[in-house]
Structure 1
């Protein structure tokens, strides 16, 4: 990510944080722009380029407060809340994740011994990322601040693997997920290192469609272990593949966004960005 892109991303993140803190007062475009030290015209243009919709539309998509009000109704479900806030679900993306393979017991226990892992750095709408792959699929993808530190983390995850800095076809295909034309994507493959329970949770996350949200309790129900909400949260927090395994689509039962290992502001930004790509405004202009 070049310096200007990084500045722009953090300006948008700051704007989203400002909107969340001042939601009840319905801040104007001028107020939000002032918070990020931009003119209203420049801010409107930058935000629209980044999100595909105006700041006003984006605010509607991340309106968690409205979702909370809907959830107070006894018969309302989280899905009702999501649909009412304009985040109608679609299976366009999760159907692409049809091949999730866990590593063999030997690979898992031996820290990736004999595994050849390619890795590279890339840009995304949400910051710089490191993406790594084996011959079977993506094994690691994280948002990063420092390339050297990120690579050291990758090595700790697979301490006995052999690494090569190269961008391969598997990585390129996965990175197309940030494109708006998802129909051109080939099947995305994941090669994951985790316990049976973790793999089960991560596979369940892949069933949450773009634009929809779920809760920790609902994930526990889906894996037929309704009392395991805390363990589900731990497994989600161990997700080794950012964005592709959409742990950002899991929020608290109250409707609050909740935590995210790569920054809760980034989580909110991703939720809004995905919702914007489902809006008629975006789909008719892209």
Structure 2
């Protein structure tokens, strides 16, 4: 049986092809041929991965979809609505509550000295991921291609911490977000280090509902600084916990997907999958 990671690699190749050729609306056979699978096999793999057909999924990853979301809502409407009603409003993750607790100045200065950090690796539908936690909460989560590079990057963030490769309950709760079943999500705590501005930006990202997108300028306006678009982009690019803090839901005002620390193909896949899942839930 194919693993989620193996399926994602194949689906990612298909998504890259679709993203480059969406104006021609490639057929199922053309996409399947590009990734060297039969139509039937590709249909099965893709549908098992996304829970929706390749044709339907295409609607949610095209640039026109991103543009239409912004066009059909006055700028900031999605973000403003989330700010007004909080995390328990229109978000599909309405039972997920995330607490941000910044590290102390001493922990900053000492590079994580006295911290014991547990970390583990897991396969997700979007690829291999490393997740790490302190006694207070999740401190790091990132997509990766190999274990060694991922651990080196974790060590670079906390050079004086003690590391233990071991999964714990905090990590298991956090990984449940990939199932996107609000009824099974428990409270997930984050233990993050960041400037006051970064924490404010990251907190605002938590309020973007699943299946919705916003822009860098909307985030800047939402935190009360219209001219801080570049700084907002930098803070979003420094997000230390992939997916849990949904920086993938922020795109350019033009409707283009924009950059992503863990690759634009992965960002496109996540946006499309969330959009498809949200649409499927709404249709139930």
TM-score (norm 2): 0.90
**2:153 counterpart residue number:** 153
- Quote how far apart the aligned CAs of 1:91 are: 1.4
Instruction: Decide whether the 8 Å contact of 1:276 with 1:282 is kept in 2.
Output: no
The answer to whether 1:135 aligns with 2:135 is yes
Q: Distance in 2 between matches of 1:265 and 1:70?
A: 19
Per-residue CA deviation, residues 214-255 of structure 1 (Å, 9 max, x unaligned), is 111111111111101001111111111000010100100001
Q: Distance in 2 between matches of 1:265 and 1:39?
A: 22
**1:193 counterpart residue number:** 193
**2:184 counterpart residue number:** 184
Q: Distance in 1 between matches of 2:138 and 2:104?
A: 15
Give the match's secondary structure for 2:245: coil
- Quote how far apart the aligned CAs of 1:105 are: 1.3
The answer to whether 1:45 aligns with 2:44 is yes
Q: Distance in 2 between matches of 1:22 and 1:157?
A: 39
Per-residue CA deviation, residues 182-201 of structure 1 (Å, 9 max, x unaligned), is 21111011010111111111
Per-residue CA deviation, residues 110-137 of structure 1 (Å, 9 max, x unaligned), is 2111111110111111111110001111
TM-score (norm 1): 0.89
The answer to whether 1:240 aligns with 2:240 is yes
**1:253 counterpart residue number:** 253
**2:82 counterpart residue number:** none
Per-residue CA deviation, residues 165-218 of structure 1 (Å, 9 max, x unaligned), is 111100000000111422111101101011111111111111111111111111
Instruction: Decide whether the 8 Å contact of 1:200 with 1:223 is kept in 2.
Output: yes
**2:62 counterpart residue number:** 63
Q: 1:279 to 1:121 in 2, by over 3 A?
A: same
- Quote how far apart the aligned CAs of 1:66 are: 4.5
Give the match's secondary structure for 2:210: coil
Instruction: Decide whether the 8 Å contact of 1:53 with 1:281 is kept in 2.
Output: no
Per-residue CA deviation, residues 5-62 of structure 1 (Å, 9 max, x unaligned), is 5443221111111111111111111111111111111101100000000001101112
Q: CA RMSD of the aligned region, Å?
A: 2.2
Q: 1:134 to 1:70 in 2, by over 3 A?
A: closer
Q: Distance in 1 between matches of 2:240 and 2:129?
A: 12
How many residues are treated as equivalent by the alignment? Answer: 274
Give the match's secondary structure for 1:226: coil
Question: Which runs of at least 4 in structure 1 moved beyond 6 Å after TM superposition?
Answer: none
Instruction: Decide whether the 8 Å contact of 2:98 with 2:187 is kept in 1.
Output: yes
**1:27 counterpart residue number:** 26
Q: Distance in 2 between matches of 1:145 and 1:72?
A: 36
Segments of structure 1 that go 5 or more residues without pairing to the other structure are: 81-88
Segments of structure 2 that go 5 or more residues without pairing to the other structure are: 79-88
**1:86 counterpart residue number:** none
Per-residue CA deviation, residues 66-122 of structure 1 (Å, 9 max, x unaligned), is 44367579x854768xxxxxxxx9313265234111111111222111111110111
**1:84 counterpart residue number:** none
**1:104 counterpart residue number:** 104
**What are the residue-to-residue correspondences of 1:74-93 with 2, within 5 Å?**
76-77=74-75, 90-93=90-93
